[in-house]
Amino acid sequence: MESYKHTVQYYETDKMGITHHSNYIRWMEEARVDFLQKIGWDYAKLENEGIISPVLEVSCKYRKSTTFSDDVVITVRIKEYKGVRFVFSYEMKDSDGNIVAEAESFHCFLNSDGKPVRPAKDFPEFHNTLIKYISDND
């Protein structure tokens, strides 16, 4: 699957001219939204089906600084999927192919009432799409 590309904006940098660390988390969300759209399950579709997917936890290892106007290519993968919970992994690289950050975000599936949703049972089409993606990228 094609990776997501983000160009570092001036407002994302700090007084030292490097990207503030909090922006990498925002880029993860941008890339995750892009990933879900590419597999045919954008957030609007999920929400129309009654599925929400809150973030439970985020971790990020910063490897190399980025600065204004740098392109950051973000590859998103589903690292783990266990029915109600799942984990996305993110590899962020600069235009030279150097890893600038590696991250994970942990999520769950809930309905609009905040109760757990089991995609395999409640949304088999979505479940099968996730399984297919995992199978295609092993």
Catalytic residues: 14
Label residue 3 exposed, middle or buried (CB < 10 Å: 0-12, 13-18, 19+). Answer: middle
Buried/exposed 31-68: b ≥16 CB within 10 Å, e otherwise: bbebbbeeeebeeeebeebebbbeeeebebeeeeebee
* Alpha carbon distance 119, 124 (integer Å): 6
